[in-house]
Structure 1
Amino acid sequence: MYKRIMVSIDGSNTSTRALREAIRIGKHQHAAQILLLHVIDTISNVPQTGSGSPPSYIKELYTQARKYGQELLEQAQKEAKGEGLHVETRLVELKLASDHVAQVIVDEAKEMSAELLVMGTHGRRGLNHLLLGSVAEGVIRLTPCPVLLVRSE
């Protein structure tokens, strides 16, 4: 049924649960492919300067965020390949302050021709939801493909 299953991972326990659910689904599909995505969101945490270039210490932040993202993808790839699945990985970095993680996930799902998008949701409510928003909620609003949300324990 689903041949191309995309999983958005962020290193959280909920994200790991989503990966394992995607692997479970993929194992039951003939020749399924798992598409792993990690979005680096350093833009929203960068102080703005008048010069247009980030402060010098931000370069180290970018380097560490890329390294962390690559390690997450490699670990997830190893887990999915260990279950006999074909795996593709993609590390995407927000480029503009106006970029939103949810939109980037949806754009990547379209570009990768994902047939199912699996992601974790932290189930925030009340003030936390209002202040932090929900990437999963944004994805649901924007994506044309089915979405499977995996809640935290």
Structure 2
Amino acid sequence: MSGRILVPYDDSGPAEKALEYAFETFPDAAVTALYIVPIPAGYWAAFGDAGELGAEQGREHGEEILENAMTIATEYDRELETEIDTGKPAQTIVDRVEEGEFDTITIGSHGREGVSRILLGSVAEMVVRRSPTTVIVVR
């Protein structure tokens, strides 16, 4: 079905399930785990050098989280590309798909941040509403 799958990954239980689902369901697809440092546009710029430090710490944290995703890939004997981006998570995910790099998004129903909605987290819901490609929501 899909040649390239994007899995937004934040080390939450639903994100892990989404990654596992991608490996199990699409054995021949190239899978990319994406961690997004959730920084609103222009926020860190207001703090000068301190903002750059905060963004850098966010990227370092993302690298640690993606190491956990690599562990899951090893358990499934699969290769996994990892990427870190910065921005508003839902918009960043949709932007990446609009660039044409991915055929499918496999996303956890909710992540670590904010209060979850009844069925979907706010990021998952926004991605489902705005994505130009197939979105699989895993619970």
Pairwise TM-score range, normalised by the shorter structure: 0.7 to 0.9
Does structure 1 residue 134 correspond to structure 2 residue 134?
no
1:52-101 deviations in whole A, cap 9, x for unaligned? 5315544432222111111222331342244233322211112xxxxx32
Does structure 1 residue 111 correspond to structure 2 residue 108?
no
CA contact (8 A) 1:17 1:150 kept: yes
Does structure 1 residue 101 correspond to structure 2 residue 89?
yes
Using structure 2 for the length normalisation, give the TM-score. Answer: 0.79
Q: Give the letter for the 2:126 counterpart.
A: G
Alignment partners' CA distance in 2, 1:2 and 1:104: 20
Question: 1:53 pairs with 43, 46, 49, which one?
Answer: 46
Q: Give the letter for the 1:39 counterpart.
A: I
Q: Mean alpha-carbon deviation: is it higher for 9-18 or for 84-93?
A: 84-93
1:87-143 deviations in whole A, cap 9, x for unaligned? 22211112xxxxx321210111233521211111238237xx9xxx71111111111
Question: 2:37 pairs with 40, 54, 63, which one?
Answer: 40
Does structure 1 residue 65 correspond to structure 2 residue 24?
no
1:92 counterpart residue number: 85
Larger radius of gyration: 1
Alignment partners' CA distance in 2, 1:84 and 1:120: 21
Question: Aligned-pair RMSD on alpha carbons?
Answer: 2.7
Unaligned ranges ≥5, structure 2: none
Using structure 1 for the length normalisation, give the TM-score. Answer: 0.73
Q: Give the letter for the 2:83 counterpart.
A: R
CA contact (8 A) 2:7 2:33 kept: yes
SS of structure 1 residue aligned to 2:33: strand
How much has 1:39 moved relative to structure 2? 0.9
CA contact (8 A) 1:2 1:32 kept: yes
CA contact (8 A) 1:119 1:150 kept: yes
Does structure 1 residue 17 correspond to structure 2 residue 40?
no
Alignment partners' CA distance in 1, 2:99 and 2:9: 17
In structure 2, relative to structure 1, the CA distance for the partners of 1:76 and 1:136 (3 Å cut) is same
Q: What is the identity percentage for the equivalent residue pairs of Structure 1 and Structure 2?
A: 31
1:74 counterpart residue number: 67
